[in-house]
Amino acid sequence: MNLAAATNESLANTSNVLIYSSMAVYTLAFFAHIAEWVLGSRSKVGRTAAALSAPGAGASAATAGKARAGGTAVLDRPEVITRSATGTRDVPDGPGAAGGTFKGDLWGRIAVSLTVVAFLVEASGVATRALSVQRAPWANMYEFSITFSTVAVGSYLVLLALKKNVRWIGLPLVTTVLLDLGIAVTTLYTDSDQLVPALHSYWLWIHVSTAIICGAVFYLGAVGTVLYLFRDSYESKLASGGTPGKFASSVMERLPSASSLDKFSYRINAAVFPLWTFTIIAGAIWAGDAWGRYWGWDPKEVWSFITWVAYAAYLHARATAGWKGRKAAYLALVAFACWLFNYYGVNIFVSGLHSYAGV
């Protein structure tokens, strides 16, 4: 059989158009998120962590969501006092990306709506790519990339649907998705084609799909970790009597507290770690079927295991009192860097048994 003839070129071209279209909508969502943060920074409700940690500040924080600024209604939002990761500060969660203003929230809702549309368009592009060759749409790095960004956005939208206060993820998420898709359609693009014999297995659906889900969720945890480091530095500066810049204050005061960001990242990483363990086990079983051995120290196998060890060390460290806070956060970023290298570095720079899929 001629493998090339088995590819539906019409569906493959439709997939390409849909991916490019999703990038256009993601770009609109990016600008809407920018407007959300800029307009939200005008909020009169914001309180610095230092002011809110002062005696008697708790009462004013409880009623801050009902304030009125310049005759414009400010969105009601209860302040949540939480204990910081280091146990030294009690500070509130910020009012979110919109900053508590009506205009900011309006642009935030527009940004989320555009993100939903872009997600649906991109998901359709992934689906038509799969239909064009009647197989799983993650047989090469291009397909892995477009599916990965789709799952990352989908995970974010699920958290929003569950009423989680995670809209602050929107701007960094859309930015990195655009970067991911830009690299995918330029550097990593591969024509839609049939599988090489080594990939003809139902384990392709199981092993690679779980790897994509894990990476997408690990990414959300990494975003929370990076923002935690910034917010923790901001709170530390306020606690020591310092005065952050106006721009830093307008952004940091609208993020969740360092404690909330720390807990978010830990819970996200802890929740998906068992699935990453299963991913490695599934890969070993597939290797046994395809190559006659479960483990052969192939570069992809080695870096998958290194990633597992790094996240295991992070979770252990995070559960240990002496390693909470910034030390554990740095370890979490090292773990995600290992996952990224396993994703990009091993496929591009290292030759091994997993090189058959190309880029």
Interatomic CA distance for residues 273 and 344, integer angstroms: 20
What are 94-151's pLDDT values in tens digits? 888 887 788 888 999 999 999 999 999 999 999 999 998 888 888 888 999 999 999 9
Average pLDDT on 305-322 reads: 88
Pairing of strands 81-83, 90-92: antiparallel
Interatomic CA distance for residues 178 and 253, integer angstroms: 26
Using the predicted structure, report yes or no on whether residue 324 has a pLDDT greater than 90: no
Judge contact between 262 and 329, C-beta under 8 A: yes
What are 155-190's pLDDT values in tens digits? 999 999 998 889 999 999 999 999 999 999 999 888
The residue behind tokens 């158009």 is 17
Query: What pLDDT score does 70 carry?
Result: 45
Highest mean pLDDT among 18-22, 43-47, 326-330, 348-352: 18-22
pTM of the model: 0.82
What are 52-82's pLDDT values in tens digits? 444 444 444 444 444 434 444 444 443 444 4
Interatomic CA distance for residues 340 and 345, integer angstroms: 7
- Cα angle, residue 210 at apex, residues 207 and 211 outer, rounded to 5°: 85
Give the SS3 label for residue 243.
coil
Query: What pLDDT score does 63 carry?
Result: 42
Query: What pLDDT score does 277 carry?
Result: 95
List beta partners, residue 83. 90
Query: What pLDDT score does 309 carry?
Result: 95
Sign of CA dihedral 291, 292, 297, 300: positive
Interatomic CA distance for residues 77 and 66, integer angstroms: 8
